[in-house]
Amino acid sequence: MKEKLQEEFKRRFGDGAMLFASPGRVNLIGEHTDYNLGFVLPGAIDKAIYVAIKPNGGKACRLYSLDYDAQIEVDMAGPLPEPQWARYIYGVVQEMQKRGASVPAFDCVFGGDVPLGAGLSSSAALESVFGFALNDIYDLGFERKTLAQIGQMTEHNYVGVRCGIMDQFASLFGRKGRVIRLDCRSLDYELVPFDPEGCRLVLLDTMVKHSLASSEYNVRRMQCETGVAVVSRHIPSVRSLRDMTMDMLNTYKDEMDEVVYRRCSYVINENQRLLDGCKALDRGDYALFGQKMFGSHDGLSKEYEVSCDELDFIAGIAHTTDGVLGARMMGGGFGGCVISLVQDAAYEAYVGDVKERFAHRYGVTPRSIDVVISDGARRLE
C-alpha cells in the first residue's frame, strides 16, 4: 500500500510526499456504554488508512482517492464538497481552523485496507490520518486528544453522524500489544496489556445489517435516560448510568418499566464486566477475560436486546467450541460482526465450522477477518 501510494502521488503530483497511517479499531468489550458515560475497551488494528501528502503552495487542495479512483480539487474556504469521502477531509480542515490553526493547501493520495462494512471504523481512521498528518507537516501543535475531538466533530458537523469519540481515540492512541480502557466521561485512559500468546482475534462478519439498528439505537438511549431520571429523583448525584449501582437500580426498580430496568441493568453490569476484564488482562488471565466477552454478548442479546439471530448463532457456536476463549457481537447490533478470542490450535476448525453451518442455515458465507492489536496514528519512514 505504501509503495502504491508513493507511485500514484509521484505520477499525479511529483516527488516529496510524506507518508502517514492511522488504523481501524475493534472494541473488545463495553458496548452501548459510551453514551452512558461508562467505559469502553478498544484497540487499534493492523489495518489502516494511509495518506501520501505534501503542501502545494496553491489555494486549492487536490485530493485523490485510491479506493474510488477519483480526483477532485477542493477550496477549503468554499462550500461543503461532493463526493461524501471529501467531506471527511474538508471537515478536519474546518475543525482545525475553528481552533485557530492555519492549514495551507496540499496535495494528497490516500487509500486503505480497512475492510468496509465490518464495523472497523474506516471513517474514523480517515479523519485521524488527515488530522495527524496535517498536524505534523504544518506543526499545528494539537494534542492527540484534540485530534480525536476534531475527528468526532467532523462526523457531527460535516457528515451528519452523531458518533461518540471511541473510534477516533483508538485510532490515534492505539499501541501494539495494548488495548485502551477509555473513560467516556472524563476521556482519561489507561493502556492495558493485550498480547495473548497462542491466541488470535478473528471477526466473523454475518454480512447482514437489519434496518432496526438506527431507530432502536435512539430508543435504547431514551430508555437509559428514563431509568436515570427515576433514580436521580431520589439520589440527585446520579446523572448517568455511570453513577448508578445495581443496589440503587434495584431499590427503585418498582418505579420503572421492566424493559427500562433491563436496559439499565445491562449497562451497569457491562461497565463492571469491563473493569473486571481489565484486571484479568493485567494478570494475563485470557480465559477469564474471554468469559467476560461471553457475558457481554449474553447481556447484549437478552437484556439490551440489540443482537439478532445471525449474531446469536455464531456466538452459540463459539460458546460450545473448545479453544474459543470468548466471543461477542461487536458494534451497534442487529447485524455486523462477532469478535472471537481463539486459541491457535482451534482456529481453523472453528472458523470453518462457523462458515459451513452459517451458510447452511442462512444461505450466505460469513467472511472472516483476522486482526492484530497494533499501533495508532503515525508517520511512516
For strand 378-380 and strand 106-112, is the pairing parallel, antiparallel, or unpaired?
A: unpaired
**CATH number of the domain encompassing residue 355:** 3.30.70.890
Q: Please tell me which residue in 34, 167, 205, 375 is annotated as part of the active site.
A: 167
What would the mean pLDDT of 12-17 be, rounded to a whole number?
A: 96
Beta bridge partners of 182: 40, 189
Determine the average pLDDT of the residues in 73-79.
94
Q: Is the pLDDT of residue 208 over 90?
A: no
Q: Please tell me whether residues 361 and 237 are part of one structural domain.
A: yes
3-state SS class at 33: coil
Residue 270: per-residue pLDDT: 98
Are 84 and 120 found together in one domain? yes
Q: Which residue range is the domain that position 81 belongs to?
A: 2-194+375-380
167 with 83, same domain: the answer is yes
Over 70: is that where the pLDDT of 98 sits?
A: yes
Cα(301)–Cα(203) distance, integer angstroms: 18
Report the C-alpha gap between 31 and 213 in whole angstroms: 14
Task: Please report which confidence band the pLDDT of residue 288 belongs to, taking 50, 70 and 90 as the band edges.
Answer: very high
pLDDT number for residue 213:
66
Q: Let me know: does 341 contact 286? Beta carbons within 8 Å.
A: yes
Q: Is 285 part of the annotated catalytic residue set?
A: no
Q: Given the C-alpha cell 442487529, which residue does it identify?
A: 334
From the list 25, 33, 36, the residue with the least C-alpha distance to 275 is 33
Mean pLDDT lowest among 133-142, 157-166, 357-366 = 157-166
Query: 235 and 146 in one domain?
Result: no
333 in Cβ contact with 306 (< 8 Å): yes
Q: Tell me, yes or no, whether 155 and 241 share the same domain.
A: no
CA 284 to chain centre: 24
- Strand (E) or helix (H) holding 356: helix 344-362
CA nearest 331: which of 164, 219, 126? 164
Do 237 and 124 lie in one domain? The reply is no
Cα–Cα distance between 299 and 223 in angstroms, integer?
16
Query: Does 154 share its domain with 210?
Result: no
Q: Given this model, what pLDDT does residue 282 score?
A: 97
Peptide bond into 83 cis (omega under 30): yes
Mean residue pLDDT of the chain comes to: 95
Model pLDDT, residue 162: 76
Contact indicator for 49, 377 with CB cutoff of 8 Å: no
Number of domains in the chain: 2
Query: Can you read off the three cell numbers belonging to residue 227?
Result: 431509568
Average pLDDT over residues 318-343: 95
What is the band of 262 on the pLDDT scale with cuts at 50, 70, 90? very high
Nearest Cα to 247, choosing from 278, 268, 216? Answer: 268
Statement to judge: residues 102 and 176 lie in one domain: yes
**CATH no. for residue 125?**
3.30.230.10
Can you give the pLDDT at residue 281?
98
pLDDT score of 235 more than 80: yes
290 shares a domain with 254: yes
How much is the average pLDDT of 265-270?
98
Query: At 115, which amino acid appears?
Result: P
Mean pLDDT computed over 130-151? 97
pLDDT digits (tens, 9 = 90+) for 112-134: 998 877 788 889 999 999 999 99
User: Does 254 lie in the same domain as 166?
Assistant: no
Residues 213 and 345 occupy one common structural domain: yes
- Return d(Cα 319, Cα 296) in angstroms, integer: 12
50, 105: one domain:
yes
Check residues 61 and 333 and name the one with the higher pLDDT. 61
Is the model more confident about 163 or about 33?
Answer: 33
